[in-house]
Amino acid sequence: MKKVFLSLSFVFFGCLSASSVIAQTASNAQLKIVEAEYKVTENDVAETLKYLASDELEGRETGKAGMVKAADYLEQFFKNNNVKPYFKSYRDTLSTFKEPAFNIVGFIEGSDAVLKNEFIILSAHYDHIGLEKKGVNGDFINNGANDDASGTTAVAEMAKYFSITKNNKRSILFVFFAGEEKGLLGSKHLAKKLKAQDFKLYTQFNIEMIGVPMKRDYLAYITGFDKSNMADKINGYTGKNTIGFLPKEAEYKLFYRSDNYSFYELFKVPCQSVSTFDFENFEFYHHVSDDFKAMDIPHMTSFIQELLPAVTQMANSPTQEIIMLK
């Protein structure tokens, strides 16, 4: 997450089974309930998260060897799950960073002859801040489990879901950004590149720090809550109080501090980040203790499960239902 300097210094944005995920799709102006028998598993979530937050990757700093190992892993994840590269390869080399660094970009084409020309982006940043110079109790590795291996894991699971169900009329770009911690460099690079190609972006759903739950009456919040009707639509799609308003999000202007903003700035369509980090529930932000054992795997699994109907509807609604309000 990208740093915000206030009275306190925070950095922010810097399988098949018997259970069902319910997705709503509109047909002939009426909502129909479509059930997809799919379950996100805790084992799968833990496997991806544990590797991305492992000491082997040395904090995944952009341009360093640990970042490249993380990229190798995510590229293989796409290959294993039949998610194709959008460009000639999965690696989108940054033009905004002096050392070799790259976003990882996967693609699932939409099934509808018309709607497949529109895209949604599901994204997270896979880089973190690397090694600590002084260390804490002999630990020098900022593993970045919550920030943002957790969001990266969620996007990976969503890619797997769509690769299995093939339930997307619109095309989907699955993006793992590098350079977020260096100033949103990966997303700035890719947004500019896609804009030059006349890329038809419907909406971007970016996932940031979802490793621990909030003690609130909603699951998560989005940045720029009042800029679009995304929160209202997601709650309609899930049939739950999934997204709420977090006052600190508006106070700290978090909308402008993660990879969603790079795309909003150029495309002026709903591009927002979702998070469960509320400045009260996690004390290890940009800290060596932001590691795998600090993460709540059952929470992450249920978070991804609950959001599947929403991303499914984003990919299937016959019209662009998520719109800007201001």
**At a CB cut-off of 8 Å and minimum separation 6, what does 226 contact?**
250, 325, 326
Beta-bridged to residue 141, according to DSSP, are 131
Render pLDDT for 116-168 as a digit per residue (tens, 0 to 9): 999 999 999 999 999 998 888 889 999 999 999 999 999 999 999 999 999 99
In this predicted structure, what is the pLDDT of residue 88?
97
DSSP 44-78: HHHHHHHHHTSGGGTT-BTTSHHHHHHHHHHHHHH
Please, are residues 50 and 292 in contact by the beta-carbon 8 Å criterion? yes
CA dist 310 and 322 (Å) reads: 11
CA dist 318 and 169 (Å) reads: 9
pTM attached to this predicted model: 0.91
Please, are residues 154 and 131 in contact by the beta-carbon 8 Å criterion? no
In this predicted structure, what is the pLDDT of residue 7?
34
CA dist 259 and 181 (Å) reads: 10
Please, are residues 195 and 266 in contact by the beta-carbon 8 Å criterion? yes
From the first residue on, what is the mean pLDDT of each consecutive set of 10 residues in the chain (326 residues)?
A: 41 39 38 60 98 98 98 98 98 94 98 98 98 90 97 98 97 98 98 97 98 97 98 97 96 96 98 97 92 98 97 98 94
3-state DSSP: the chain helix, strand, coil percent, rounded to 5?
Answer: 35, 25, 40
Whether residue 291 has a cis bond before it, omega within 30° of 0: no
In this predicted structure, what is the pLDDT of residue 171?
98
Task: Supply the CATH classification number for the domain 2-14+41-316.
Answer: 3.40.630.10
In this predicted structure, what is the pLDDT of residue 25?
39
In this predicted structure, what is the pLDDT of residue 5?
32
Q: Which helix (H) or strand (E) holds 164?
A: helix 150-165
Query: How buried is 318 (Cβ within 10 angstroms: 0-12 exposed, 13-18 middle, 19+ buried)?
Result: middle
Residue for token digits 């630990």?
Answer: 139
